[in-house]
Amino acid sequence: MATVGKIFEVIDALAPFSLAEKGDNSGLIVGNKENKVKKALIALDITNEVANEAAGIGAELIISHHPVIYNPLYSLSDENPANILAKNGISAICAHTNLDMAPGGVSDALAEALGFEGKKVIEVVHRMPFKQVCVFCPEEYAEKVSEAMFLAGGGQQGNYSHCAFFSKGVGQFMPNEKANPFTGENGKLEKTQEVRIEMLVPPSRLKSVISAMKDAHPYEEPAFCVYDNLAFVEKYGFGKLCTSETEFSANSLAAHIKERLGCKVVRYTDSGKTIKNIAVCSGAGGSLIRYAAEKGADALICGDIKHDQLISARNLGISVFDAGHFHTEAVILPKLKEVLANAFPETEFEIAAQSIDPALYE
């Protein structure tokens, strides 16, 4: 059965909690990792309504984007959603800025929802070296093990996939009396023909690749090692610079955003330029206007634009579109549900009804 801890590990593999901004209270906020989970809700915010919805359907866990406890609490009233969770034995995992910055995170989901191809990170916050993973296995299992690692995200180098190096040699080991060896006998030195498989792995995919390797490997105790490879880095940060096959005017892009995201209103400025290179940032992305302009963006789509940011965009000659905090972030909820449902088919994951109603946020 799934536990809070196991679900936490899957989210951590998708969007490492170590990426969270300083002061951002992401992680396991309520509950214990040992708690079992048969039913879970996924929400943008853990409001009182969402907390009560979870209690009403017997959910043991809520996964949210915004932390249920962000600022320090000096009292805990009956109306506080964290109190409702604790009273009903409901855990809360909150993935905030780590999910904003991770590849495949909120900004990527926003670009996909809009039909754009996301490329460069706009504001780079973290640069992490790729990992070089080496594993040794019997010759007849080399293809199976390497293919599992490729499918989990290993062997990616720029525009190339399935990149790996294979070398043959002799491996030796001696199983003790407690071992259950795939080949050889307990207490006897075994020598066998093996293949060393070596490939680059993005740091965000390391846990998934190692897990896939172990699942495909025939040995009880696979021998493997992991190194940093400084020749390649993975960039994490806020926003993505995208390209569009369609050239837009400001008015036609606003209409496109409304149709794709289901917005009632899109506030925007018009620089007068044709829009082809488009920056997107989930949530309050107005601070990225200068970064987006410097990277050649004709427009920035985000939420919660302030007046001074609109003026800055005008001065920089870039169009800005405010599609609202909810609509630029709710796009991640179906993605989270898909990832978690695939990882834990025995657990029921549902998007909270209150997170489907944008009227609460408008």
Strands 61-64 and 91-94: parallel
Residues 228 and 257 in one domain: no
Residues 135 and 196 in one domain: yes
Residue 254 exposed, middle or buried by CB count within 10 Å (0-12, 13-18, 19+): buried
Domain of 42, in residue numbers: 4-100+330-361
**Is 78 within the bounds of a domain?**
yes
What's the rounded Cα separation, in Å, for the pair 135 and 127? 25
**Is 219 within the bounds of a domain?**
yes
Predicted confidence (pLDDT) per residue in 108-145, tens digit: 999 999 999 877 999 999 999 999 999 999 999 999 99
Q: Tokens representing 308?
A: 């001074």
Mean pLDDT of the chain: 93
Residues 14 and 37 in one domain: yes
Residues 198 and 143 in one domain: yes
Q: Residue 100's Cα: distance from chain center in Å? A: 8
Place of tokens 């995919």: 205
Predicted confidence (pLDDT) per residue in 171-200, tens digit: 998 999 888 888 888 989 989 999 999 999
Predicted confidence (pLDDT) per residue in 218-255, tens digit: 999 999 999 999 999 988 999 999 988 899 999 999 99
Q: How many helices (H) and strands (E) does the chain have?
A: 12, 13
Q: Tokens representing 24?
A: 């951002």
Q: Domain count for the chain, please give it.
A: 3
**Is 168 within the bounds of a domain?**
yes
**Is 28 within the bounds of a domain?**
yes
Give the pLDDT confidence score for residue 78 in this predicted structure.
Answer: 84
pTM of the model: 0.84
220-240: b (≥16 Cβ within 10 Å) or e: eebebeeeeeeebbbebbbbb
CATH code assigned at 47:
3.40.1390.30
Residues 323 and 334 in one domain: no
Give the pLDDT confidence score for residue 360 in this predicted structure.
Answer: 57
Residues 94 and 14 in one domain: yes
Residues 288 and 269 in one domain: yes
Compare 74 and 166 and report the one with higher pLDDT. 166
Domain end call among 212, 235, 258: 235
The predicted model gives 50-66 an average pLDDT of 96
Residue 355 has pLDDT above 80, yes or no: no
**Is 240 within the bounds of a domain?**
no
**Is 303 within the bounds of a domain?**
yes
Predicted confidence (pLDDT) per residue in 69-83, tens digit: 998 888 888 889 999
Residues 357 and 323 in one domain: no
Indicate the pLDDT class of residue 356, thresholds 50, 70 and 90.
low
Query: Can you give the length of the chain in residues?
Result: 362
**Is 83 within the bounds of a domain?**
yes
Residues 273 and 303 in one domain: yes
Residues 28 and 85 in one domain: yes
**Is 218 within the bounds of a domain?**
yes
Residues 160 and 218 in one domain: yes
CATH code assigned at 135:
3.30.70.120
Give the pLDDT confidence score for residue 357 in this predicted structure.
Answer: 59
- The percentage of residues in the chain with a pLDDT greater than 70, rounded to a whole number, is 98
Closest CA to 319 of 258, 278, 261: 278
Predicted confidence (pLDDT) per residue in 263-293, tens digit: 989 999 999 999 999 999 999 999 999 999 9
Residues 14 and 94 in one domain: yes
